[in-house]
Structure 1
Amino acid sequence: MFTAPVSLRTSPLGLAGLAFGLALGACTAITEFADCKVDADCAGAGNGYVCGPGNKCVPGSDDTTTTGDPGTGPTSTSQPTTSTTEPPDTTTLGTETDAVTSTTTSTTETSTSTGPDTETTTTTGEQVACTAHSECVAALGDDHVCGKAGVCVSALTAECQTFHWPSDEPADKVVFVGSIMATSPPFDALVLPLQNAVQLAVEDFNANADLPGGVKIAWIGCDDEGSAAKAMASLTHLSETIGAPVVVGPIFSELVLHLAEQAKTSGTLLISPTASAKEITDLEDDGLVWRTIPSDVYQANAFADRIPQLTPAPQKVALLYKDDAYGNSLHMDAFARLSSDNPGLEITTHQYPNPVGLSQAELLQMYGTVIASAWGAPGEHPDTIGIIGTTEANDIILGFMNAWSAENPDPPLPRFVVSHGVVAALPDLIAKAKDTLKPVLMQITEGVAPIIFDEANFNNFNIRYKIRFNDQAPITAASLSYDGAMVLMLAMAGVPEGEPITGKNVAAAIAKLVDKEGTAVSFGEVMGLSLTFIKKARNILVTGGTVDLKGVSGALDFDLTAGEVRVNLLGWGIDADMGMPDVGVLDPKRMYVLGPAPSTEGMWVDLP
């Protein structure tokens, strides 16, 4: 694994069980003598140190001066000479980063010697041409690859901070898989498990199989921070600079919608594990935008149908929703169904801001305003509060409970119903609540979410994930990320022999993974140390056969036109963990069973 010389974040995981829930990053400068890219990186190594051969900080010499600017290498005070006795050595001098694309290319220094006591250098200022990754690794270091344009480039950028060669060993026979996910705060605890699942899928594939010709998978992970501009820069780097044909992500619907045209133009296949906005279904994307989670068109009906079934029957409902593509779209459909099917129900709606780019102080002020408006005056409070958003909803729920507890006497308790973007963070809600509120919140809070794990396959995945990532438990949504990455790699195996592995060819090969007449392959098939399902599917696909995949998240029955799946939904409650009454755990209470396709409606059925 490689990370950039300057760490843009630290990201400890701290999540267990089935939570889908939020840590802190920091910038550090290099003070080790071992690693550098430019002379400025050696500032902490000692006065006069420069970035020398092999990317090491070394004492500077009197005949060499530097400007100190990134991208401007040291210039020689001597005229270049040539030698007939020793070949020149090429080393990295510096890097230059394009401000628009965040792409880093490298210039070189050629050292030549005229004898044992004389060595002079000159800066060429030219990119290093290449035909193989090994050439770039030898010349510039292990984090360099032979890019799409046939020149050496760094795999790392400001956004793309994680890079894995197969088995962490540079190789020429590789195909690149990228990921674009918001892994920095405040999303890290929620999203890092999804990125980990991509890493695990790549490692599993490389350990158990390869593509025809012995080709393995290399992976580059990018952090968009929830920003459209950073997501675009990440996709530009992966698709145009590196030449990755496929990408897992982004996480948020708004960013998937934003990147769809860029993916279409570049011919890159995107598969999102969690972007559920219904607008993604009908994108004009040349079949290049896919997702392992179903559209919100089903969730909107399940959410709206659940509220009237609460006991006692609600009389006044406040619907709060996040101002992004996911929140706005899901709210619009849920509100329309709820109001039309329940004309006597009093409903108010309240939009709250997307937290991306806002300070904590700004958020508290804005959320406070929205909560006050939705809560209303004494005697006029809603008895039911629906929240459509993501993990920020925990703070909103606690804000309502503060308003409730501030009144004397206490008004009736409201009930909370949350959408799938909040569900897996509900145990974190209990952890953050005051002790006196913990048992209360367990009784009055529930959520709606699509079914995103197969019990047997998820248990197998859960064990392997915990072993690989230091006993951290994966969130349930990590199943969607693992399945998305594995689908891409198995589809690569299905690309006909002699055809290039492009985004469009991989997308076309997905049809070979969902054939009900094909060989059944379940991601829980394991024998000893071997994940037999990978080799089994790979061998069938490379010989022209077809398979019917059942992933960690369940049956991967993609609609090949829309590029998405259709599944039932669960109604989740919160129970006290056994022996730990103050710890909340998710427990499925009911199922929303969809009618026969293509129906988007269903009915709630209590689980035994």
Structure 2
Amino acid sequence: MYASMRRSAARRSGVFLGAALLVAAAGMQGGGATQAAAAEDGELKLGYVLPETGQLAFLGPPQIESTKFAIEEINKAGGVLGKPIPAVVSGDEAGQEAVAAQSANRVLNAGVDAVIGAAASGMSLAFIDRVTGAGVVQCSGSNTAPTFTDYEDDGFYFRTAPSDALQGPVLADVVRGDGHDRVAVIARADDYGRGLLDSTRDALEEDGAEVPVAETYDPKTTNFDQIVQQVADANPDGVVVIGFEEATQILQGLIEAGVGPQQIGVYGADGLRSEELPNLVSPGNPERLAGMKGTAPASASNPDYVKRLKEFAPDLKELQFAPQVFDCVTTIALAAEVAKSDDPGRFVDEMVGVTKDGDKCTSFAACKELIADGKDIDYDGVSGPLDFTDRGEPGQATIEVYTYDDQGALKTLRTEVSTGEE
């Protein structure tokens, strides 16, 4: 209902006029021929902009392979609108805004109906206006910055990962549950870092903790001594580090300054949840990170999905955000089935509805059968129930609490549900 109210027929016509101009301009910038995006031709075309290289390259394989796996599962069930989804159009976000934007232009030029990605919130912000302004659906499985909840995207942007407004309170609860009363919080200076810093700090202070340091840092700097010294000088009994791969240098600095996991509580978030982190921080001595904890959006326990994904991609090691991306692809396909159209200007209105308030189904094939029978569907994804809000995002989050054990191995301690309500 809400989505439909946001888009009148006249507005949609304006969107597609803008789309034609935008994509034409993108084609001229790229020096190649252009195909207008979002044309209805009976074939659902998908593209992605995900990290094939760059700081978040470890998040690329699980998201890319899960995208391809979802397409294979959809095609096994007869495809969308009676046609298979063709090979996904690829684009590298590369950890650089300019590269991500260029990749988005190339993907749009291929005439896709929806874009999967980006992985990083900052990278999505580099091209969201290009995609949604062209009347093309965008769905990310790992954007968590609160920025997107109220972003002016004409209703074309969706995410299956929860907002950090839901993760921050859980992270704060973990810190406080470990008995820490004086906590420094530092984060990379982008929408992801600032959003999670704010929600974590606010939750800590509401629970009675003192936050002597709440600062952001330039992730492109090569020297983090100043922020490390600022933490050390504050004499905290806990520190939260919100970053990506660059934060390995901060963790190294904290250890050298005597405020590492062996001395105080050290915590991270989803950007630092990686099996490789201990060896990146201390090559040959991963146990130096033992005791560090953190939080990250979790998936419902789904061993069947994990088994099938690993059979599809046997070399896959990291699984973070793979289920959420699978659900992006499946939700888009189901919305097109319900709308009986591959026109994103039409199936966008079904994106929220297919995730709630209908007959439950847990696969594209099962949901497609219900649709064929004239039923309203409620797709519960491989990452768990989606139940999109009117803003096109999960209304609650399952958050994993992780740690690194005595040998530096990544372990899941538990999961918690967060709704943002007391």
2:36 is aligned, of 143, 148, 165, to 148
User: What does 1:401-416 align with in structure 2 at a 5 Å threshold?
Assistant: 401-404=255-258, 413-416=263-266
Call closer, same or farther: CA 1:208–1:324 in 2, change over 3 Å: same
3-state SS of 1:251 partner: coil
Give SS of 1:223's match.
Answer: coil
> SS in structure 2 opposite 1:271?
strand
Instruction: Give the corresponding residue for 1:471.
Output: 315
The TM-score with structure 1 as length reference comes to: 0.60
Q: Which has the higher contact order (CA 8 A, sep 6+)?
A: 2
Match among 209, 213, 218 for residue 353 of structure 1: 218
Paired residue type of 2:155: G
* 2:349 paired with 1:508: yes
1:193-213 CA distance string (max 9 Å, x none): 211211111122123322224
SS at match of 1:587: strand
| Aligned residues of 2:42 and 2:81 also touching (Cα < 8 A) | no
Q: Partner amino acid for 2:156? A: L
Tell me by how many angstroms 1:323 deviates: 0.9
With over 3 angstroms needed to count, the CA separation of the structure-2 counterparts of 1:214 and 1:437, relative to structure 1, is: closer
For residues 266 and 249 of structure 2, what CA distance do their matches in structure 1 show?
13
What is the alpha-carbon distance in structure 1 between the residues aligned to residue 169 and residue 87 of structure 2? 41
Asked whether the equivalents of residues 245 and 501 of structure 1 are also in contact (C-alpha less than 8 Å), the reply is: yes
Structure 1 counterpart of 2:296: 449
TM-score computed with the length of structure 2 as normaliser = 0.84
Deviations 1:321-351 (A, max 9, x none): 01111001221232233234426x2521232
More strand by share: 1
- What residue is the counterpart of 1:551 in the other structure? 381
Give the distance between the partners of 1:515 and 1:585, measured in 2 at CA.
34
Structure 2 partner of 1:205: 74
- Distance in 2 (CA, whole Å) between partners of 1:490 and 1:235 is 23
Amino acid at match of 1:398: Q
Q: In the superposition, relative to structure 1, how do residues 433 and 325 fare at CA in structure 2: closer, same or farther (>3 Å)? A: closer
Separation in 2, partners of 1:412, 1:284: 45
User: Residue 57 of structure 1 corresponds to which residue in structure 2?
Assistant: none
In structure 2, relative to structure 1, the CA distance for the partners of 1:383 and 1:286 (3 Å cut) is same
- Change over 3 Å in CA distance of 1:413–1:233 after alignment to 2: same
Report 1:196-595 matches (<5 A).
Answer: 196-239=65-108, 241-311=109-179, 313-314=180-181, 316-342=182-208, 345=210, 347-355=212-220, 362-363=221-222, 365=223, 367-376=224-233, 381-404=235-258, 413-422=263-272, 424-425=273-274, 427-432=275-280, 434=282, 438-439=286-287, 441-443=289-291, 445-450=292-297, 452-455=298-301, 457=302, 459-496=303-340, 500-518=341-359, 520-522=360-362, 533-575=363-405, 582=407, 584-589=409-414, 591-594=415-418
| In 2, Cα distance between equivalents of 1:369 and 1:587 | 32
Whole-angstrom distance in 1 between the partners of 2:211 and 2:389: 38
Secondary structure of 1:217's aligned partner? coil
Tell whether the 8 Å contact from 1:252 to 1:275 is kept in structure 2 after alignment. yes
Question: CA 1:219–1:278 in structure 2 vs 1: closer, same or farther (change >3 Å)?
Answer: same
Aligned with 2:86: secondary structure? strand
For 1:175, the equivalent position in structure 2 comes to 44
Answer whether contact 1:206 1:217 (CA < 8 A) is retained: no
Matches of 1:233 and 1:412, distance apart in 2? 44
Asked if structure 1 preserves the Cα contact closer than 8 Å seen for 2:241 and 2:269, the reply is yes
Shift of 1:217: 3.2
Match of 1:169 in 2: none
Q: Distance in 2 between matches of 1:505 and 1:583?
A: 49
CA contact (8 A) 1:319 1:387 kept: yes
Q: Gapped runs of 5+ residues in structure 1?
A: 1-96, 106-145, 150-171, 356-361, 523-532, 577-581, 603-608
Q: Any conservation in 1 of the 2:47–2:114 contact (CA below 8 Å)? A: yes
The alpha-carbon deviation at position 536 of structure 1 amounts to 2.2
Which one-letter code corresponds to 1:354 in the other structure? P
- Report how far residue 267 of structure 1 moved: 0.3
Bigger Cα Rg: 1
Alignment partner of 1:218: what SS?
coil
Q: Distance in 1 between matches of 2:27 and 2:348?
A: 32
Give the conservation status (yes or no) of the 8 Å contact 1:292–1:565.
Answer: no
Question: 1:548: Cα distance to partner?
Answer: 1.7
- In terms of fraction of residues, the more helix-rich structure is 2
Q: Note closer, same or farther for the CA distance 1:382–1:334 as it changes in structure 2 (3 Å cut).
A: same
**Percent identity, aligned pairs only?**
21
State the distance in 1 between where 2:242 and 2:183 align: 13
Code of the aligned partner of 1:521: C
Cα displacement string for residues 43-100 of structure 1 (whole angstroms, at most 9, x for unaligned residues): xxxxxxxxxxxxxxxxxxxxxxxxxxxxxxxxxxxxxxxxxxxxxxxxxxxxxx9886
* TM-aligned CA distance change 1:516 to 1:434, over 3 Å: same
Q: Which runs of 5+ in 2 are unaligned?
A: 1-24
Match of 1:101 in 2: 29
Change (3 A) 1:188 1:346: closer
1:600 aligns with 2:389: no
Q: Number of aligned pairs?
A: 396
How big is the shift at 1:173? 6.8
Q: 1:100 to 1:304 in 2, by over 3 A?
A: farther
Shift of 1:246: 0.6
Evaluate the alpha carbon distance shift between residue 418 and residue 213 of structure 1 in structure 2; reply closer, same or farther with a 3 A threshold.
Answer: closer
1:19-65 deviation digits (Å, cap 9, x = unpaired): xxxxxxxxxxxxxxxxxxxxxxxxxxxxxxxxxxxxxxxxxxxxxxx
Amino acid at match of 1:242: A
Q: Secondary structure at the match of 1:453?
A: coil
